[in-house]
C-alpha cells in the first residue's frame, strides 16, 4: 500500500510523522528503528518547513507478501506547488522483519486500526504523540541499559587499566632490578677479572724476582716488569749504593720520608686515597706527576726505596696495593740474593783455600781446574791434591764427597788431611783408599765419597793407581791413542762394607798424559756418564804431540770448553792433568 501526503504546515508535518511511525509499527519495525525513522523524518520535515513551500511525503511497503520487505519513504517538493523543483528530494528505506505480516501487532501499544491520521483532528494527533512517547520511553530504557552496560565496561576497563598500570610498574621495577643486577654482575666480574690479573702478575713477577740469586739482576728486572703497564718510570734507591755515580744524589722529599719512616708515601697535587699510604704535597723535583715511594723492607732493616710514577693521571687503588706488595717481595728477594752472594763469596774463599797448589816435579807437568756448580752455595765436596812422598814419588788424587754445602766441604778437608797423614807411611794407592774407607765409615757413617789415587815414581816407567767408586781415569798415550783405565774399582768410601781396594799398574812412556776428573765433567742427566767419557777421550786425543808439552794449562781449558758448553751445572767439576814430558 502507498500513502501520499501533502505538507503545507506544521500540522501536516506532525500528521505525516505520525503516519510513518504507525506504518512502521504495524509492519513490526522494532521501536528503536521506528524512533530513529521518526527522528530522521522529523528533522527533515523541520528543514522543509524552514525552506517553505509545499512538500509531498510518500510512504509505502514493498515486498511484504514475500516474507521480507522494506518500508520506503520519499519526501520531495510537491509537483503542483509553485515552488516545485526548488527543494531537495529525500528518501529512506527501513527493512522489515522477515516473520512479520501486515496486520500484525506492534510493540508500540497503538490501538488504531488505520494508518491514516487526519491532519485536522487534535485528538488523533495527541493520541499519536502519546504513542510516540511510549516508543521514546522504550528507547530511553534501552539507552539506560546501554549506559549501565557502558558504565560497567568503563569500570572494568578502568580496573583493567589500573591492573595494566600496576603490571607495567612491576615490570618496570623488575626491569630496573634486573638491569641493576646485571650491572652489579658486570662490575663484580670486572673486579674479579682485574683481581685475577693482578694476582697473576704478582705471582709471575715474584717468580721472576726470586729466580735470580743476583741482586743486581733483580734490580735490573724490576723496572722491566712494571714499565709501561703499571708505571711510567721506576727509580730504585739502594742505601748501600749511594756512592754509585750512576745514581742521582738529589732525591724527592717523599722518597727520603719513605726511607726515614718505613711507610709508603704519595706525593701529588690531589689526595691519593690509598690504603696505608701517607699523602704529601707534590714533589718540587717532579711537580707535574704523582710519585709513589715505597720502602724496600726486609726482616732486618730497610734496603732502599722504590719510586714510581703512574702510567696515567693516577693509580687505581687496588693496583697501588699490588705494587706495595710487589715492592715488599722485591725487598725480600734482594735481601735473600745479597745474603746468598755473601755466603757464596765466603764459601768460594773457603773452597779455594782448601785446594792445593800443585807441586813442581822434574819431567812431570800438572794442571788442575775446579769449577763450582752454578746452582746452590757454589761449595761442594769435589777436591784434588798432589804431593810428594818421602821416597820421592808423587801422589795425585781426585775425589768427590757426596752432597754439597759446608758440611761436604768440611768432610772433604778432613779426607784430604787424613790422606796426607796416611801417605807419610809407605803404602800403595789401594792401601791408602782402604784406610780412607775405614776412616770415613767410622767418622761419618752416613756420608760417602769416591776417589782415584795415582802414584808416579821418577825412577820407574810405571803408573800405579786405584779407584773407589769413581769414574775411571783416562790415559793418553804418546801416539795420541786414548785408553780408559776401567779395571775393576773398589766400592764407594764409607759404605757399610769391609773391602780391600786393589792396585792397578800401567806402563807409561814419556809423552803420556793421565786425566783424573769428577763426574760433574762427564755426567748429564739425560744421557748418563759413558757419552761424556767418550767426549773427554776425543778431546784428549785431539792434541798434537807438542801441545801438551808446551801448554798443559791451555790444554786443560780446551778440554773443558766442549764438555761444559751448557752454561748451568748442577754439580762441581774437577779436572787434574798429569803429563810426562816427552
Grid cell, residue 243, equals: 756512592
Separation CA 367–CA 577 (nearest Å): 5
153: exposed, middle or buried (C-beta count within 10 Å: 0-12, 13-18, 19+)? exposed
Grid cell, residue 77, equals: 517538493
Check whether the bond before 228 is cis (ω within 30° of 0).
Answer: yes
Separation CA 451–CA 430 (nearest Å): 11
Separation CA 564–CA 270 (nearest Å): 58
CATH code for the domain defined by 212-349: 3.30.450.40
Q: Which of 562 and 169 is assigned the larger pLDDT? A: 169
Quick check: 319 pLDDT over 50?
yes
pLDDT value of position 553 = 92
Q: Cβ(433)–Cβ(485) under 8 Å?
A: no
Classify the phi-psi angles of 53: left when phi > 0, otherwise alpha if psi is within -120 to 50, otherwise beta: left
pLDDT value of position 113 = 40
Grid cell, residue 183, equals: 650491572
Share of the chain above pLDDT 70, in %: 86
β-pairing, 70-77 vs 55-62, is antiparallel
Would you state the CATH architecture of domain 356-580? 4-Layer Sandwich (3.60)
Q: pLDDT by residue (tens digit) across 461-517? A: 889 999 999 999 999 999 999 999 988 889 999 999 899 999 999 999 999 999 999
Separation CA 356–CA 366 (nearest Å): 12
Quick check: 336 pLDDT over 80?
yes
Q: Cβ(351)–Cβ(379) under 8 Å?
A: yes
Phi, psi of 380 (to 5 degrees): -150, -160
pLDDT value of position 491 = 92
So where are the chain's domains? 2-149, 212-349, 356-580
Quick check: 114 pLDDT over 50?
no
Q: How confident is the model at residue 144 (pLDDT cuts 50, 70, 90)?
A: confident
Phi, psi of 148 (to 5 degrees): -65, -40
pTM of the shown model: 0.53
How large is the average pLDDT for residues 512-525? 90
Q: pLDDT by residue (tens digit) across 396-453? A: 999 998 876 677 777 888 888 899 999 988 789 999 999 999 998 888 888 899 999 9
> Over the chain, what is the mean pLDDT?
84
Q: Cβ(115)–Cβ(100) under 8 Å?
A: no
Which H helix or E strand runs over 238?
A: strand 233-238
How large is the average pLDDT for residues 51-60? 89
Separation CA 259–CA 293 (nearest Å): 9
pLDDT value of position 128 = 64
Amino acid at each position: 500500500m502507498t500513502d501520499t501526503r501533502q505538507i503545507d504546515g506544521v500540522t501536516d508535518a506532525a500528521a505525516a510523522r505520525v503516519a510513518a511511525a504507525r506504518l512502521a509499527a504495524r509492519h513490526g519495525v522494532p521501536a528503536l528503528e521506528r524512533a530513529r525513522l521518526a527522528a530522521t523524518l522529523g528533522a527533515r520535515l523541520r528543514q522543509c518547513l524552514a525552506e517553505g513551500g509545499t512538500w509531498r511525503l510518500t510512504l509505502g511497503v514493498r515486498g511484504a507478501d514475500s516474507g521480507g520487505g522494506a518500508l520506503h519513504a520519499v519526501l520531495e517538493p510537491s509537483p503542483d506547488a509553485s515552488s516545485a523543483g526548488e527543494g531537495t528530494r529525500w528518501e529512506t528505506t527501513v527493512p522489515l522483519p522477515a516473520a512479520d505480516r501486515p496486520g500484525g501487532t506492534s510493540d508500540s501499544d497503538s490501538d488504531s486500526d488505520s494508518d491514516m491520521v487526519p491532519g485536522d483532528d487534535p485528538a488523533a494527533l495527541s493520541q499519536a504523540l502519546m504513542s510516540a512517547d511510549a516508543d521514546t520511553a522504550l528507547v530511553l530504557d534501552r539507552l539506560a541499559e546501554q549506559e549501565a552496560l557502558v558504565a560497567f565496561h568503563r569500570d572494568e576497563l578502568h580496573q583493567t587499566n589500573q591492573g595494566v598500570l600496576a603490571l607495567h610498574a612491576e615490570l618496570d621495577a623488575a626491569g630496573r632490578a634486573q638491569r641493576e643486577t646485571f650491572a652489579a654482575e658486570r662490575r663484580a666480574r670486572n673486579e674479579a677479572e682485574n683481581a685475577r690479573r693482578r694476582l697473576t702478575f704478582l705471582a709471575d713477577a715474584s717468580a721472576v724476582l726470586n729466580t735470580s740469586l743476583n741482586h743486581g739482576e733483580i734490580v735490573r728486572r724490576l723496572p722491566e716488569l712494571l714499565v709501561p703497564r703499571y708505571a711510567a718510570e721506576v727509580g730504585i734507591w739502594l742505601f748501600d749504593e749511594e756512592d754509585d755515580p750512576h745514581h742521582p744524589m738529589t732525591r724527592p722529599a717523599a722518597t727520603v720520608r719513605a726511607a726515614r719512616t718505613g711507610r709508603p708515601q704519595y706525593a701529588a697535587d690531589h689526595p691519593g686515597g690509598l690504603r696505608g699510604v701517607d699523602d704529601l704535597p707534590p714533589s718540587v723535583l717532579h711537580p707535574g706527576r704523582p710519585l709513589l715511594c715505597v720502602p724496600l723492607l726486609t726482616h732486618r732493616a730497610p734496603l732502599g726505596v722504590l719510586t714510581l710514577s703512574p702510567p696515567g693521571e693516577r693509580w687505581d687503588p687496588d693496583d697501588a696495593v699490588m705494587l706495595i706488595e710487589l715492592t715488599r717481595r722485591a725487598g725480600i728477594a734482594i735481601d735473600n740474593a745479597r745474603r746468598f752472594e755473601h755466603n757464596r763469596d765466603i764459601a768460594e774463599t773457603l773452597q779455594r783455600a782448601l785446594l792445593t797448589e800443585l807441586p813442581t816435579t822434574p819431567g812431570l807437568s800438572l794442571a788442575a781446574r775446579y769449577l763450582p756448580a752454578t746452582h746452590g752455595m757454589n761449595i761442594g765436596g769435589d777436591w784434588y791434591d798432589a804431593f810428594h812422598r818421602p821416597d820421592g814419588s808423587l801422589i795425585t788424587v781426585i775425589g768427590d764427597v757426596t752432597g754439597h754445602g759446608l758440611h761436604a766441604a768440611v768432610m772433604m778437608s778432613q779426607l784430604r788431611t787424613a790422606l796426607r797423614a796416611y801417605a807419610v807411611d809407605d803404602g800403595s794407592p789401594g792401601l791408602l783408599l782402604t784406610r780412607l774407607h775405614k776412616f770415613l765409615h767410622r767418622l761419618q757413617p752416613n756420608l760417602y765419597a769416591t776417589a782415584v789415587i795415582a802414584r808416579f815414581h821418577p825412577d820407574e816407567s810405571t803408573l800405579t793407581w786405584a779407584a773407589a767408586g769413581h769414574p775411571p781415569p783416562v790415559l793418553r798415550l804418546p801416539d795420541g791413542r786414548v785408553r780408559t783405565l776401567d779395571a775393576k774399582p773398589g766400592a764407594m768410601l764409607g759404605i757399610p762394607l769391609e773391602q780391600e781396594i786393589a792396585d792397578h799398574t800401567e806402563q807409561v812412556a814419556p809423552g803420556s798424559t793421565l786425566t783424573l776428573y769428577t763426574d760433574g765433567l762427564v755426567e748429564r742427566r739425560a744421557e748418563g756418564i759413558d757419552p761424556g767419557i767418550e767426549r773427554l777421550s776425543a778431546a784428549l786425543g785431539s792434541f798434537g804431540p807438542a801441545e801438551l808439552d808446551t801448554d798443559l794449562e791451555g790444554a786443560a781449558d780446551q778440554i773443558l770448553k766442549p764438555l761444559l758448553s751448557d752454561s748451568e751445572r748442577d754439580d762441581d767439576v774437577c779436572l787434574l792433568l798429569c803429563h810426562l814430558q816427552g
